[in-house]
Structure 1
């Protein structure tokens, strides 16, 4: 018969086993609000709150209403990366016109003990998740030799298209900084619905700075990533979205110009 201490130990082991089984069997889903093509057209106001996004996932990225900076989420915390290069915790009532969220359940891990470029990091992921037909969520916790970012400034109506807005985008350099990189790899067939290829945001370890990543070089750190095979999209019902041109002739070129 187990004594009191042993009973506690057995109970803890059972709880740990249940947690691991739940983690292993949890359905991997990406939740997305609106479309990248709508954002490109100037649909910068949405009704989805930060609080609502966190019911759909604990990890993700996007932007805020009026295109007021970049959104990054991890560990159930959401941050606003602002146009002056600073960062702050987002308020639950803040709203987003475009965001991509998931409950982060990585299947793979790779430790970098020496410097690696962005392309070298991506090659590690591509060598494991070889099909471009699945989504991939990725996170790097580490120290970066350099990170080049940009952030979008808050807009006022009448809204200009995103390509016009980012013509004079502010850019920032973070050198020899520890931080978190949050991102997704999206299939090429999703261009316009989302951003095809790699889309990544960065925030410093003190949560005081960051932005949309243009390029980076990792000094050392741990990469965690995993494939996702299900997508759920909430489409807006407001007039801006319903009247937006969601299939312009230069869609692919326009998205590449604003994301790189």
Structure 2
């Protein structure tokens, strides 16, 4: 079905579907296996982030290619038959492109990006491209069964810093009301231009970069049909605290 563009707060916007398999609250409960292959996932989007079965590193989807970022910060192409318990992708068609101030860190960049969006009530796919004075990342290690809860699985992750690097940050800004479905705020991964190093973004300092933004208006959820998922605790009382600890927000 074709949708006509709309005017929203002075900006022309289009409907774009965000596809997600699995839930953040599922990962928090230690449910790290899903049914969707990377080949299937790429049929739903050319841009995104996620992880792999067993929490085996971080995932980045860029320009229709999927990469696996490992615990030591190295990157390898993902196999199409690998599976994911959690990933968020979309077909990236940006309508906003802006230069970003030099010498700002993640917290300041987040405030700048807020000024570029039409409302906090939608999802946004973000692509920051350029030179970074440094990028600090971490990547989860593959877990073995019985799987620990995510807070335990990520508590000893090493921080890896890349200095004077050119690359791309792929991220999603998610509204607070999606807490537990996704990661509220900005969930972002980094990959360098040579596709050799990257990880889950903890912080960065820009040198010379720009951002492209794609509004997400429709969310399509794919939930795993597994006994583990059906028995998961998806609404713990300390959900917000668990997300903050697991994601290690700077």
Q: TM-score, normalised by structure 1?
A: 0.88
1:240 to 228, 237, 244: 228
2:58 to 42, 48, 70: 70
**C-alpha displacement of 1:153:** 0.3
Q: 3-state SS of the aligned residue for 1:116? A: coil
Q: Note if contact 1:202-1:212 (Cα within 8 Å) is conserved in structure 2.
A: yes
Q: Note if contact 2:56-2:142 (Cα within 8 Å) is conserved in structure 1.
A: yes
1:216 to 201, 204, 210: 204
Q: 3-state SS of the aligned residue for 1:55? A: coil
1:92 to 75, 80, 84: 80
Structure 2 CA distance, aligned partners of 1:171 and 1:119?
18
The alignment status of 1:156 with 2:156, answered yes or no, reads no
Q: 3-state SS of the aligned residue for 1:46? A: coil
Q: Which protein shows a greater Rg?
A: 1
Q: Which runs of 5+ in 1 are unaligned?
A: 1-20
**C-alpha displacement of 1:108:** 0.6
**C-alpha displacement of 1:130:** 4.4
- Name the structure with the higher helix share: 1
TM alignment of 1:1-260, pairs within 5 A: 27-112=15-100, 114-259=102-247, 260=249
CA root-mean-square deviation = 1.5
Structure 1 CA distance, aligned partners of 2:210 and 2:245?
30
Structure 2 CA distance, aligned partners of 1:91 and 1:195?
25
Q: Which runs of 5+ in 2 are unaligned?
A: 6-11
Q: TM-score, normalised by structure 2?
A: 0.92
Deviations 1:116-143 (A, max 9, x none): 2212322222112142110011001101
Q: Note if contact 2:135-2:162 (Cα within 8 Å) is conserved in structure 1.
A: yes
